[in-house]
Amino acid sequence: MSTVIRLPLTCRCLLPIFLPLLLSACTENKAYETAICTLADVSGTYADEKPRVAGIIKAGVLPAMDPGDSLFFITIDSNSFNEENLKYKTMLDYRPSRANRQKLEFANSLDSFAGASTHSGFTDISGAMMLCSDYLKSTGSGNQLMFIFSDMAEDLKPGVTRSFQDNEFTGMHIAAMNVIKLARDSSDPAVYRSRLQAWRDRVTGAGAADWQVIYEAAKIPEFIDKAR
């Protein structure tokens, strides 16, 4: 048998007063929270970078997160705009002890990813970024960041098309991480530089607050702090 709990009349009278204050406090909390999405390329030779990607996220991203922050982990494969590409997600509890346990659980999941034999024949970076954008927006967090672990050489499967909306990444801070150089990049650095410039133009043209290429994992906490 269900039990109905009735508030005293005085409490019920105060609800209209305190409820807006409570909702306002929640909204203010969201404004200070940070949502981070990490994208890991599992195509071509970059698939061999899985252990390094997992290590960078564990050492650079997780320690920089605060209680209330959110973290998503998405893989870049042949058709990345797919809910199945969201492998792990968590929203850290406001209790520090619980948040630390959640970080450990996420780190263990990354270890599983690092040991998997996942490999894709094509590279849909744009699709993964669009999926990531949707999840970041869904959090309502005031600070939204995206870390892309890839060589940034997109190779779309025949029949797959991608086009960013003008507001696709509005206000988001986007960084390319561990961008390994391909053979042709070493032969002609202009190829590498022009590829990264093309991505900068695309994401800033779609509203991103900024775009950076981060070469050292130690720079990640600084990037996150500046975005807060």
The domain that contains 110 carries what CATH number? Answer: 3.40.50.410
Q: Is residue 15 part of a domain?
A: no
Average pLDDT, the chain: 91
**Coil, strand, or helix at residue 88?**
strand
Q: Is residue 180 part of a domain?
A: yes
Q: Is residue 162 part of a domain?
A: yes
Give the whole-angstrom CA distance, residue 130 versus residue 168: 7
Overall number of domains in the chain: 1
Q: Is residue 217 part of a domain?
A: yes
For the stretch 151-200, pLDDT in tens is: 999 999 999 999 999 999 999 999 999 999 999 999 999 999 999 999 99
* DSSP assignment letter at 169: T
Q: Is residue 192 part of a domain?
A: yes
Q: What share of the chain has pLDDT > 90, as a percent?
A: 84
Structural domain of residue 159, as residue ranges?
34-227
Lowest mean pLDDT among 10-19, 52-61, 66-75, 136-145: 10-19
Give the whole-angstrom CA distance, residue 196 versus residue 211: 10
Which segments within 92-154 are labelled E, that is strand? 143-149
Q: Is residue 95 part of a domain?
A: yes
For the stretch 118-138, pLDDT in tens is: 899 999 999 999 999 999 999
Give the whole-angstrom CA distance, residue 134 versus residue 142: 14
Q: Is residue 137 part of a domain?
A: yes
The dihedral of CA 204, 205, 206, 207: what is its sign? Answer: positive
Q: Is residue 19 part of a domain?
A: no
Report the phi/psi class of residue 159: left, alpha or beta, with left for phi > 0 and alpha for psi in -120 to 50. Answer: left
